[in-house]
Structure 1
């Protein structure tokens, strides 16, 4: 079942860009979260989206939010992607697709491509936005709009 606005996210863990175990409860309850799922490192739209989050990362931090990118790419791929584009936020490796299943992220393009969905979660772990669009840049604007209202 896909997460909807008003749902509380379940605790989850995954390996981050540095090869460390990330636990969601280390952030939930302390700050808002913007978790964005994207298809693949170093592809045109995914790179544009990541760089847009990078370019506005200070705006997210000023609003008390942490940005986390999630794809099924390996930790090694995430490290290369983050270094190449100087991404200041966490990327989580979801190679077993457990996080995609937990959040209920659908596939796009006849089920062939992993979906591009952004979730804004408030400090209490309640989903405030579920935005599903293959257009990468719009996600940043939508997330910031919601965070400004929290």
Structure 2
């Protein structure tokens, strides 16, 4: 496992292909972290589309999208599957956040969350509006995920700094 960015330090910029479900259309484009400056970004790394825990996690975040929007935050789901898989996943479950394809696991490696067997650990990184890592959680076992309420509490803390 590589070295994970440290809280209080700026994170490295990256660009990944992805898409967002908007009504009946899956809008594909490249997502660049620095383009989101000025807003908090929740990077939700997950092992795989259409898996039990990942589906619960992303459905939870998607159904709570108004909470994130109200805190001036964006949520990006990131996994090793390609954009076609993400489109199918988003359409099946009505997921409303961008799903990004880290097919070569370069970003997962940069964040220190690659793991033998599962490929990518379940992890959440909160990037402040200034591009600085404000909070992170990396799961040892991926059977649980950080709740919407937990993330909202941490995002509120960023907004009050």
The match for 1:62 is 70
> Where in structure 2 are the equivalents of 1:1-150 lying within 5 Å?
1-17=3-19, 18-28=27-37, 30-107=38-115, 111-113=116-118, 114-133=120-139, 134-150=142-158
Kindly state the Cα deviation for residue 149 of structure 1 after the two structures are TM-superposed. 1.2
Out of 117-126 and 131-140, give the one that drifted further. 131-140
Out of 16-25 and 39-48, give the one that drifted further. 16-25
Kindly state the Cα deviation for residue 23 of structure 1 after the two structures are TM-superposed. 1.3
TM-score, normalising length: structure 1: 0.91
Moved over 2 A (4+): 135-142
Kindly state the Cα deviation for residue 140 of structure 1 after the two structures are TM-superposed. 2.8
Where does the alignment leave 5 or more consecutive residues of structure 1 unmatched?
none
Where does the alignment leave 5 or more consecutive residues of structure 2 unmatched?
20-26
**Per-residue CA distance 1:25-65 (angstroms, 9 max, x = gap):** 1102x200000100000000000000010111110110010
Kindly state the Cα deviation for residue 139 of structure 1 after the two structures are TM-superposed. 4.2
Asked whether the 8 Å contact 1:16–1:93 carries over to 2, the reply is yes
Instruction: Please tell me the root mean square deviation across aligned C-alpha atoms, in Å.
Output: 1.3
Aligned residues: 146
**Per-residue CA distance 1:1-39 (angstroms, 9 max, x = gap):** 2112112111100101243121111102x2000001000
Out of 96-105 and 59-68, give the one that drifted further. 96-105
